[in-house]
Amino acid sequence: MSLKKIYLVRHGQTDLNLQGIVQGSGIDSSLNETGRWQANKFFQAYQDIPFDKIYTSALQRSVQSVQGFIDLGIPHEQHAGLNEISWGTREGTRITPEEDAYYFDMLQRWQNGETSVPIEGGESPQNVADRQKPVIDLILSRPEEKTILVCMHGRAMRVLLAQLLRYPLHQMDRFVHHNLCLYELNYTGSMFWVSRFADVSHLT
């Protein structure tokens, strides 16, 4: 039995996504034309779901991705705790393995269990998990909100899913993501389970 259902989506495409440039909590980019198309396709597919509440990060790309639902009058809250990880000095730079060995070495260190080590000038996965925890507690403290929509960001989404599904943080990369993909989560009162995993069928 599901006491709460969470539709968790990543924001739609931005120009920086398209260009392979790192976006973190310090870059407040907006959706591009493709991202707006993705947001509309998701809205068309799920507009009849009776959402009780919408939660987004404080960054505009997450709000824009679910604006159609907000425009229906569904209550909406922004929480900076759901913001993308801060990539520090890497934000706004184009990342390739050849150009930034440090970045890829840091991802490997996190996968090896060093999830409390922050990227230069930014956050660690543990920092992100710690700031997400009050938002998770808030959502779970509201049993009247039975069906909710949450829109956030790729790395932050991986951290959140690891927390909700009780995976160690160093396994967060098993949760793949794409622009405007959907994870559908069910909460029993004691645990979460996934009924849709990185679903993009609404975009076809």
**Do the Cβ atoms of 29 and 85 come closer than 8 Å?**
no
Sequential pLDDT tens for the chain (204 residues): 679 999 999 999 999 998 989 999 999 999 999 999 999 999 999 999 999 999 999 999 999 999 999 999 999 999 999 999 999 999 998 887 777 888 889 999 999 999 999 999 999 999 999 999 999 999 999 999 999 999 999 999 999 999 999 999 999 999 999 999 999 999 999 999 999 999 999 999
Q: Which residues are paired to 184 by β-bridges?
A: 7, 196
> What confidence score (pLDDT) does residue 45 get?
98
> What confidence score (pLDDT) does residue 9 get?
98
From 6, 35, 9, 18, select the one nearest 157 (Cα to Cα). Answer: 9
Q: What CA–CA distance (Å, rounded) separates 90 from 23?
A: 9
Question: Cβ contacts of residue 74 below 8 Å, gap of 6+?
Answer: 51, 52, 53, 54, 149
> What confidence score (pLDDT) does residue 115 get?
98
Question: Cβ contacts of residue 129 below 8 Å, gap of 6+?
Answer: 159, 162, 163, 169
Q: What CA–CA distance (Å, rounded) separates 122 from 6?
A: 29
> What confidence score (pLDDT) does residue 100 get?
82
**Do the Cβ atoms of 66 and 39 come closer than 8 Å?**
yes
